[in-house]
Structure 1
Amino acid sequence: MKSTLYLLLQIFVLVIFRSDVFCQEAHKWGGQKDGTFSNPVLPADYSDLDAIRVGDDFYAISSTMQFSPGMVILHSKDLVNWEIAGHVVNDLTKVSPNLDWSSMNSYGRGIWAGSIRYYKNKFWVYFASPDDGFFMSSATDPKGPWEPLHKVWDVSGWDDCCSFCDDDGQLYFIATNFKLDPNNNKKYNIHLFKMSQDGKTLLPNTDSIIHQSPGSEANKLYKINGLYYHFFSEVKAEGRVMMMERSQNIHGPWEIRQLNHVNKTVDREPNQGGLIQLKDGKWWFFTHHGSGDWEGRAASLLPVTWIDGWPMIGEVGKDGIGNMVWSAKAPIAVNKALKIQTDDDFSAVTLRPQWEWNYQPRSDKWSLSARKGFLRLMAFRPLKPDDTVRILLRAGNTITQRSMRTKFNIATVKIDISGMYNGQFAGLTHFSTKSYCMIGIKQDGEDRKLVYSSDSQNLIGVTITGSNVWLRSSWDYQGLNRYFYSLNGKDFLPFGNSTQLTWGSYRGDRVGIFNFNRFATKGYIDLDYFDYQYSKQ
């Protein structure tokens, strides 16, 4: 009896102290020193993934919603270590004017899931915007430049599309139409179209519905060993799972199988991504975890086992269906030279690819050339300057990066505040649409004060008399953040309260730099450098 109680106590402690990290080994991620890797391989908000192999290189895309530039491109040599290669969409207003700094009213909208494919000697990216339709672009180099964005179809209520080039060169397009039925329930129909040879037009009278089920999304098309495979996700009693249809004809009839089991609490529903075959013939699946936590929807790598012609994803159980895998031998020798970029000294002529603005920025209010080696952010009024509770969500010129979920995270920015003006507030922030916290300098008349601000509290600190201030954010694995400041770049003092980072509108927490003026379009700050250190394993 005593041993049984002890065992139950151990289980209880394990659940309590690991419930926020689901079943991964606490703090571990990515490539390990023993030739294995731990999931997630990207512990940050890289959602709605698709991935391909071209020669010795792997490329993936991830949705970016209202952040600009849009649709991030990732590059890897080993499927474990990734770098940011660039973005597909430089100007979000080509998708919708609502994604501009002058509107800022499309949180949770914008650039949704898409697909990346390589055929006809080009990379092709297609994606959906739920309010604005389908878009595409192509490039010979995934780092860019990408062709001007083209609207394939002006429509609403569609998502999760994929292009496909058959052996005869015929192009196809698959996507989900979600709409309300007479009982006000969402109905998901998956449609298949033929496309024109340039991939820019859906051909009339070729539309057919090939599947319908609750939550049918995440569409991908493949042709493997002469059979057509349609990957998608579907909502079942256990959660959103991966599904697969196969057929000898692209129009069906289709056989269907479930590929994995999920548990929201334990594995946070890996369910959307891309099948990849390596040169050695083995298969892997690069996926996001669909149920996000404060860091967003992180990315994991899962082995694929083919059983009777079906690609089961994860560790295959007794029922023949895959389950989440938290660690495995790396598929290829680990390439440690690649990593997610974070630091910037602003010496380049363009912004480094880790940066994304909150909405399309006002192009005349930021500059890398106004002062060499600095990023200048010029202040202007927020769209709702009197909404002090949510003011950051309507303030332009907020430049951001994804917040990583690792053992330790320290982001430091050096700011020259000598150009600030009355009414201006500038500094370092964490934000989602659910909550925010900020540390910065607020100018009132001639006085410049250190200020901490969050959803529920504002604290006024010391008067800043010098030209430079260093602001720092430090957060842990659980997403508990603390701010610090320094007046000499060496001695940092804490200021403000600890804050729990959150996610909202399908996006994880962002660390960023903000600058606005409630009263006038006046004042600026110069960013000398941004240094972001995170735990590498």
Structure 2
Amino acid sequence: MIQRRFLSLLFCCLVAGVCSKAQTNGNWGDQQNGTYVNPVIPADYSDLDAIRVGEDYYAISSTMQFSPGMVVIHSKDLINWEIISHVADDLSRISPNLNWDRMNCYGKGIWAGSIRYYKNRFWVYFGTPDDGFFMSSASNPAGPWEPLHHVWNVNGWDDCCSFCDEDGQLYFIATNFAVDPKNNKKYNIHLFKMTPDGKSLLMESDSIIHQSNGSEANKLYKFDGFYYHFFSEVKPEGRVMMMGRSKNIYGPWEIRQLNHVNKQLDREPNQGGLLQAPTGNWYFLTHHGSGDWEGRPASLLPVHRIDGWPVIGQPGPDTIGRMVWTGNKPVPSKSKVSIQTSDEFNAGKLKAQWEWNYQPRAGKWSLTARSGYLRLYAFTPIPSNKQGNIILRAGNTLTQRSMRTPANTATVNIDISHMADGQFAGLTHFSTTSNSLFGIKQENGIRTLVYDNNGKDTAGIQVHGKTIWLRSTWDASGVSRYAFSTDGKSYQSFGSTYQLTWGSYRGDRIGIFNFNTKDDNGYIDIAWFRYDYRK
């Protein structure tokens, strides 16, 4: 027993050394030599689920209050991913609190869900902590997706998954994380049958199939005549992956732990989806549950079948998996796709990487008012008595995820000639714990360069031209510095550095903002936004 514990400790130390190097140097993804380094997506792709259909892989990721919601990504090799759609185009169909005139759902909104393919369609189910469960389906995962259907109006539930059995019966599994009146406990996992259209739960079929500390992240599978219930739970070492196995979907379930975690080093990989490559090898696409400034990034772990159990990561002497930071690519490819970032605003619609902070105000943005430009009309933020959080209450802020790579450069070109007094527009980094705004303020007809770090302004030069170029650069440590140009050629740094941060289950967002603290007046035209992230 002592020897086995020593071997386990030695194994963990070796893995930790690889992990520490991968985390600090910002290396990631496809190495272009047949191998990859985790994370495969170094940005906030949280609450993942994933499937393979034919030779294509699809995954979904939660989006909280950002709109459009529930992002769908696609890959041919499980390493190189691109955004192809969003499931929810209008968050106000979920709740009025997710609209631009409320903006009070930080840390809430669209939580974890599942994506499945059966009956010749793609099916996505997800929940919100306050509004219950929703679903949509599509014949093509790139959309269009059907309008959201409200499956169950309930609160205190999360982490749902649909499942189609071999006989065509549909099931729905989810966690009640609030105190359940059935047994006065939290984190009860319930199983329901669904109607054939997948739009209603058969409440009389409700059955609790598991309960443990923090048991969430539910997924259902069936392999070789066994039902497998994947979930995660909280143990003294941290949040770990668990699995139940049974010949009957209602149990009894044989339970096994699938991985060990080190909270500081491997950041608790847990929520995700099991996938089988055409070679027959199995993999697990997962987020890292412990968030940092980039959020909860995505990694790909090998799966080893041991006595029929899918052990995730590298099995140790105890046959339980550990985090793996490098590996051979599952599918040989020379894929050139990547998560999109830049936009010239000349395609007639916003590109797939953009998500508004809350549902945007219709009529206050346009891609047609001036051809080849995105026009943002300024309007007043929702009042707040908290110093330095105005960006969290300003509608129509257009955002995307900030990547954790060694070199990031995001630049925006803005026509400011139609700004009005009281208006502030430019480039921002924000989370719910910290924010910075860099751009142009206009007062008494004078436009001034301003850097706002959590409510503390630093004023710069007066800007007399029609156009300003604003830039943010940051590295793998998340330290950002702003710069500006008045000719689009030479850039000058301005203000102090800014540390990107994490808050309310979300990583840092880079965005374009435009608001007016006096009245609904003034607008800006954005010619382009260009964001380059490199390995």
Please state which band the TM-score falls in when normalised by the shorter chain: over 0.9
Q: Which moved more, 1:407-416 or 1:329-338?
A: 329-338
In the alignment, residue 280 of structure 1 is paired with which amino acid?
A: T
- 1:485 deviates by 0.3
Provide Cα deviations, 1:321-361, integer angstroms capped at 9, x if missing partner.
00000000111113432110001000011110000000000
Report the 3-state secondary structure (helix = DSSP H, G, I; strand = E; otherwise coil) of the residue aligned with 2:105.
coil
Q: Deviations over 1:267-299 (max 9, x none)?
A: 000001000011111100000000000000000
CA distance in 2, matches of 1:280, 1:15: 26
- CA distances 1:200-225 after superposition (whole Å, capped 9, x unpaired): 00013100000000000000000011
Give the aligned partner of residue 260 of structure 2.
261
Cα distance in 1 for partners of 2:460, 2:332 equals 51
Give the structure 1 partner of residue 447 of structure 2: 448
1:207 matched residue in structure 2: 206
Matches within 5 A, 1:171-320: 171-180=170-179, 187-320=186-319
Contact 1:442 1:449 (C-alpha < 8 Å) held by counterparts: yes
Indicate the SS of the match to 2:187.
strand
Residues 365 and 376 in structure 2, CA contact (< 8 A), matched pair in contact too = yes
In 2, are the aligned partners of 1:381 and 1:519 still within 8 Å (CA)? yes
Match of 1:413 in 2: 412
Indicate yes or no: 2:162 matched with 1:163: yes
TM, length-normalised to structure 2: 0.95
Instruction: Supply the distance in 2 between the matched residues of 1:103 and 1:272 (Cα, whole angstroms).
Output: 30
Structure 1 residue 262: deviation in Å?
0.5
How far did 1:17 drift? 12
Structure 2: stretches of 5+ with no match in the other structure: 1-13
Measure, in 1, the Cα distance between the counterparts of 2:241 and 2:154.
27
User: Residues 275-424 of structure 1: matches in 2 within 5 Å?
Assistant: 275-384=274-383, 387-424=386-423
Instruction: Measure, in 2, the Cα distance between the counterparts of 1:253 and 1:385.
Output: 52
Preserved CA contact (<8 Å) 2:22 2:38: no
Give the aligned partner of residue 466 of structure 2: 467
Moved more, 246-255 or 332-341: 332-341
In structure 1, the partner of 2:103 is 104
Retained in 2: the 8 A contact 1:81–1:335?
no
Residue 179 of structure 1, CA deviation: 1.3
Q: Distance in 1 between matches of 2:343 and 2:403?
A: 16
Aligned-CA RMSD value: 1.8
Q: Once the two structures are superposed, what CA deviation does each residue of 1:142-180 show, in whole Å capped at 9, x if it has no partner?
A: 010001100000000000000000000000000000114
| Contact 2:387/2:455 (8 A) holds in 1 | no
Superposition deviation, residue 507 in structure 1:
0.1
CA distance in 2, matches of 1:25, 1:493: 28
Amino acid at match of 1:121: N
Aligned residues: 520
5+ unaligned residues in a row in structure 1: which ranges? Answer: 1-13
Distance in 2 between the 1:363 and 1:456 partners? 28
Equivalent position of 1:42 in the other structure: 41
Deviations 1:374-398 (A, max 9, x none): 0000000000167552111000010
Query: Once superposed, which parts of structure 1, at least 4 consecutive aligned residues long, lie more than 3 Å away?
Result: 14-19, 21-25, 385-388
TM-score normalised according to structure 1 size: 0.95
The answer (yes or no) to whether the contact 1:159–1:176 under 8 Å persists in 2 is yes
| Partner Cα distance (2:438, 2:253) in 1 | 56
CA distance in 1, matches of 2:426, 2:15: 38
The answer to whether the 8 Å contact 2:18/2:325 transfers is: no
SS at match of 1:392: helix
The one-letter code of the counterpart of 2:28 is: W
Amino acid at match of 2:237: E
How far did residue 457 of structure 1 move?
2.4
Tell me how far apart the structure 2 counterparts of residues 121 and 370 of structure 1 sit (CA, whole Å): 40
Amino acid at match of 2:286: T
Asked if structure 2 preserves the Cα contact closer than 8 Å seen for 1:81 and 1:334, the reply is no
Tell me, in whole angstroms, the C-alpha distance in 2 between the residues paired with 1:109 and 1:68.
13
Which amino acid in the other structure matches residue 530 of structure 1? F
